Amino acid sequence: MALAPSLSHFVVVGKADAPHTLDIFLDYVCPFSAKIANGGIESVLRPLLSKGGKYDGKVKVIARLQVQPWHGSSLYTHEAALAVARIKPEAYWPYSLALFKHQEEYYDKPTLDLSPTQVRQKLAALAAESLGNAGWSDAATTEFINLVTPQSTNNGGVAVTEDLKYTIKFSRQNSIHVSPTVLWDGIVANEVSSGWGEKEWSEFLEKKVTV
């Protein structure tokens, strides 16, 4: 599947030139997305696809963004991840994992009485808290706020809106509707479940990997 060069950090596991691709579409306020991110990507796929793993150099995982607009804060969490990636690309996935860990704070009810600015400030604080060991600085937090704050026109979005549009358009043209959705080499793999563990993923890869 195609990937814009500016979003190369979406490859979160495996080598970028690996011949097989797992596209996994995730929403930060979706509990099933959190389940597959932690229990699938981190616990199972990372050991299998990383250096020394059985499928090292054969399969890569692209963590795609899938905004679910019926959750009010979904937009803001996705903007936040894109802002972090703009500042520090290698922090995209660590911040994504932090968003999943704290996702309940961004559910509909907890954010009901918060303004967009307040939600964005919470997301900035989460970046500072979760990425401190990765070299995140006060200057980075200031830049983050600037990237997610409307500054140009009355209706022009924020600095990462074009990146957000790309991810949404990509999902739409590929008929992605739910999160998580998994594609194997560009084809929807309906059999994949967010609850899969090592056994299921290992059996899946054993059947699918042909190189």
CATH code (residue 202): 3.40.30.10
3-state DSSP assignment of residue 29: coil
Cβ partners under 8 Å of residue 90, min gap 6: 9, 134
Q: Write out pLDDT tens, residues 14-32.
A: 999 999 999 999 999 999 9
pTM recorded for the entire structure: 0.94
Given a contact cutoff of 8 angstroms between Cβ atoms, the answer to whether 55 and 209 are in contact is: yes
Counting the structural domains of the chain, the total is 1
pLDDT of 158 = 95
Question: So what's the pLDDT on residue 133?
Answer: 82
- Domain of 92? 5-208
Q: Determine the pLDDT at residue 81.
A: 98
Q: List, for residues 28-79, the tens digit of each pLDDT value.
A: 999 999 999 999 999 999 999 999 999 999 999 999 999 999 999 999 999 9
pLDDT band at 154 (very low <50, low <70, confident <90, very high): confident
Alpha carbons within 13 A on the beta-carbon side of 36? 25
* pLDDT average, residue stretch 141-165: 92
